[in-house]
Amino acid sequence: MRILVVSGPHAFATRDMFTGHTWGLRQLLGEDNVHTYDIIPRYNLFSLFADVLEEKFGKGNVPREIRANVLAAEPIFAKAHLVRADWVYFLSPMYMPMSFVQLLRADGFKCAVYFTECPYEDHLWASTQAKHFDVCFVNDRNSVTPFQIYNPQSYYLAPMGPSKSTSTRRFRGDELSKSSSTPRGRRLGRHRLETIWKLAGGN
């Protein structure tokens, strides 16, 4: 099984989630079967582009098709084909256009998602986004019920970040590959990821 992991546009708030889930999935499935698309560089670039356009034409006059979140998401479809992904796994999808998820699923890709901001605005995200995915994961137990209203395949997945013993520092992707010891939070993350892909029907 091949997975494409898509980051959220946050440089700090959910970065540990992106690196942690990617690390855990690679431990589970092997390096060659887990690919990533880091949306941040393109999102930041096109945000500057949008600022220039809004200054020139006025806020609210920039067409949706050239907004930062739309332009930053465009390569996901191509990369899913390039790596021959079975699943596309979105982390923190609040700014992700659901039209891209619909396009991926229409072309045969399964799509999973991890909502990292629960329980804040659960009704909004559950009602507008959950139904578009094959499987949803939420990071708060109280959020399972509202999400299951819109997508019965919704499950609780505890947050996976650094353990208490390593909470004073944040992990970058290169640190994960160079580290000779595995933080406890990462070991636990692998077991949680094994569980979620069994729920999702992955092998």
CATH of the domain at 66: 3.40.50.2000
- Strands 87-91, 110-115: parallel, antiparallel or unpaired by DSSP? parallel
**In the predicted structure, residue 81 carries a pLDDT above the cut 70:** yes
**In the predicted structure, residue 44 carries a pLDDT above the cut 90:** no
Domain that holds residue 123: 3-199
Residue with tokens 């892909």: 197
| Distance separating alpha carbons of residues 99 and 70, to the nearest angstrom | 10
Mean pLDDT across the stretch 134-140?
93
Number of domains in the chain: 1
What's the pLDDT score for residue 199? 55
**In the predicted structure, residue 20 carries a pLDDT above the cut 80:** yes
Tokens of residue 4, six digits:
């494409």
pTM of the model: 0.78
Specify burial of residue 113 (Cβ count, 10 A radius: 0-12, 13-18, 19+): buried
**In the predicted structure, residue 193 carries a pLDDT above the cut 80:** no
Contacts of 139 (CB under 8 A, 6+ apart): 114, 115, 116, 117, 118, 156, 157, 158, 159
What's the pLDDT score for residue 191? 54
Tokens of residue 190, six digits:
């692998």
3-state secondary structure of 3: strand
What's the pLDDT score for residue 186? 44
Phi and psi angles of residue 174, each rounded to the nearest 5 degrees, phi first: -70, -30
What's the pLDDT score for residue 160? 64
Specify the range with the lowest mean pLDDT, choosing from 58-72, 82-96, 140-154, 157-171: 157-171
Tokens of residue 43, six digits:
């999102």
Q: Are 6 and 42 in contact (CB under 8 A)?
A: no
Q: How confident is the model at residue 13 (pLDDT cuts 50, 70, 90)?
A: confident
Residue ranges with strand state E in 68-109? 87-91
Q: How confident is the model at residue 195 (pLDDT cuts 50, 70, 90)?
A: low
Residue type at 29?
L
Phi and psi angles of residue 175, each rounded to the nearest 5 degrees, phi first: -65, -35
What's the pLDDT score for residue 28? 87
**In the predicted structure, residue 46 carries a pLDDT above the cut 80:** yes
Q: Are 64 and 32 in contact (CB under 8 A)?
A: no
| Distance separating alpha carbons of residues 196 and 199, to the nearest angstrom | 5
Dmax of the chain from CA atoms? Answer: 53
